[in-house]
Chains A and B, each alone.
Chain A
Amino acid sequence: MRTRPYPAWISRLFILLVAALTFTGFMQMPLAKRYALTTVPGMAWTGDFFLVHKIHYVLGVALLFLVALVAVNWIKSWKNTLALTGLGLARAGVVFGLVVSGLLRVYRNLPGVTLDPAAILAIEWVHLTLVMVLGVLALVAIIRKSSAYAVRR
């Protein structure tokens, strides 16, 4: 397995946030009650649409902070010593798309904001499609044993 030339806590926090965001994102669909997830001990909260929605927001805030922090550090110093792998670049692009579409989603939910229905449809489906693309890319990266986004130059 390739080593990661950046701190482990970044990888772990990123994986944790993306996993939790993916779960709470999919729970935006009315699945929890239909598929009895709410009956699993400790999982009743998954049936509360508003609670799951707010948790998704909070996790999104944490991811946005982390992504911005890493991006700035990349520009400031890491780009001289690190190189994105092909899969790393692809996943970074997908994460960027998820962040932008997610922020547009948050914007759309503000009172007084009314977007064109076609734009809303695009935002929804880009967000939903990209998370599935990220899942596929992550799976490929694990299978190819190259899950690090960047390697030393």
Chain B
Amino acid sequence: MSEKKYRAKAVSRRGFLKALGVGSAGALIPAAPTLAAQERAGAPSDGELATLLDLSKCIGCGACVEACRESNSAKFPEPVKPFPDMLPSRRAKPEDWSDMRDVDDRLTPYNWLFLQNAVVEYEGKPYAINIPRRCMHCQNPPCANMCPFGAANKQVNGLTRISPGLCMGGAKCRAVCPWHIPQRQSGVGLYRHLMPRLAGNGVMYKCDRCHQLLDQGELPACIAVCPEDVQTIGPRHEIVARAKELAREMNGFIYGLEENGGTNTLYVSPVPFELIDRAIDKDSGPGANKAGKGKRKRTPLGPGKPHMGPVKDVMADETNLAAAAFIAPVAGIAAGVLGLGSKLLSKGEGDHED
């Protein structure tokens, strides 16, 4: 592809993003228009930007992997060594990728995007599918919802970020992520200054969709650099419509529409994802870290190759229970007003020692 053609396309895509993506997100912020792609309260899901990956186009050249590294290199951890001795040492082991920064065949704190490959046969035809893998940027991300310190958050423009200044590296986000995406680097972050022996173990890292570029109305590096136009970004409702249209055109399949209740990363493929899931090299599928895998070696560095299997909405039960949580005080007040409380409370009323 000529440089001229590439530039023209990049400008065009940037214009598209500005006009439809960040622009519409900004329009939803009447009180703070300057915050455009930044976070704010009460976001409808339509304000979220989603990406579409057309897997029929990806040639596996790796340009996105390289671009991701370059774009995010300033965010990569520079751990202080030796790492703090942690207690109990048998269970709390450091995870160190700082001497393996070149690893690019899995997710690491220094590699937030990698390529998976699947050679499958479907309807009598062979397919070689290349799949750029990174954070799925869930619509209702368990990593952010369940972080006990508020270090992980989803922004109004649909991306999920982990704040390196607040993260303690407990890796709960990795445990609750259906794809176990975030990866840990020890020897860096807040825990070193609090109780390094007793709490924390570093900082978790993952794709933040190049927020520094998005905030300026520019494309994430992996999208901008792709010579095959594999990825598209825009308001989620448009991206979903485009994904469905594309899937219809190629008689293909979509991943990310229903998985975990919906993600802001949609893959469209000419072959079923269950075939891809069976064929790709993966470590982090359901049960990957569970016992019962014989003498499978469990390294402290853990898996970083996400699966492509079905994922139920992991926060669905909480969503149902939330209704009960909001009804409970109303029910308590109603019961009290109706006198039920008085009857209950008068039962056994009297002085007692406790």
Contacts and interface: CB of A to CB of B under 8 A. Distances in A.
B321 A67 contact: no
B318 A68 contact: no
Interface string A103-139: 1001111111111110111011100100000000000
Contacts of B100: none
Interface in A26-72: 28-30, 33-36, 49-50, 53-54, 57-58, 60-62, 64-72
Given A7-B347, A7-B348, A68-B333, A61 B42 contact: no
Contacts, number: 185
Contacts of B337: 72, 76
A73 B322 contact: no
A10 interface: yes
Contact of A53 (B146, B155, B346): B146
A49 B166 CA distance: 20
Contacts of A7: 345-350, 352
Contact of B318 (A34, A54, A77, A103): A54
* Residue of B45, B170, B328, B350 contacting most chain A CB atoms (<10 Å): B328
Contacts of A35: 88, 91
A34 B92 contact: yes
A101 to B, nearest CB: 12
Interface of A is mostly: helix
Contact of B326 (A8, A106, A111): A106
Interface string B314-345: 11011101101110111111011100011011
* Residue of B42, B332, B342, B352 contacting most chain A CB atoms (<10 Å): B332
A115 B148 CA distance: 16
A28 B148 contact: yes
Contact of B41 (A76, A112, A114, A124): A114
B111 interface: no
Contact of B150 (A6, A30, A124): A124
A68 to B, nearest CB: 3
A34 B89 CA distance: 9
B44 interface: yes
B118 interface: no
B351 interface: yes
A114 B156 contact: yes
Contacts of A76: 336-337, 342
Given A36-B88, A57-B321, A110-B319, A116 B41 contact: yes
Contacts of B346: 7
B122 to A, nearest CB: 33
B40 interface: yes
B153 A4 contact: no
Contacts of B170: 29-30
* Residue of A12, A73, A124, A128 contacting most chain B CB atoms (<10 Å): A73
Contacts of B155: 114, 117
Contacts of A69: 332-333, 335-336, 341, 344-345
Q: Which bracket fits the contact residues of A? A: 35 or more
A73 to B, nearest CB: 5
A40 to B, nearest CB: 14
Contacts of A124: 148-150
A81 B153 CA distance: 47
A61 B329 CA distance: 8
Interface in A12-26: 12
A41 B349 CA distance: 39
A79 to B, nearest CB: 13
A120 B163 CA distance: 12
Contacts of A128: 148
A111 B336 contact: no
Contact of B345 (A10, A54, A120, A125): A10
Given A7-B349, A12-B354, 16 more contacts: A1-B354, A4-B354, A5-B351, A50-B176, A53-B318, A57-B324, A61-B328, A68-B333, A69-B333, A71-B336, A76-B336, A99-B329, A103-B325, A109-B319, A117-B153, A125-B149
22 contacts: A1-B354, A3-B351, A4-B351, A5-B349, A7-B352, A30-B170, A54-B321, A57-B321, A57-B325, A64-B328, A69-B335, A70-B345, A72-B333, A73-B336, A76-B342, A77-B342, A109-B322, A112-B140, A116-B41, A117-B155, A120-B150, A125-B149
Interface of B: 39-45, 88, 91-92, 139-140, 145-146, 148-150, 153-156, 163, 166, 170-172, 175-176, 199, 261-262, 314-315, 317-319, 321-322, 324-326, 328-333, 335-337, 341-342, 344-354
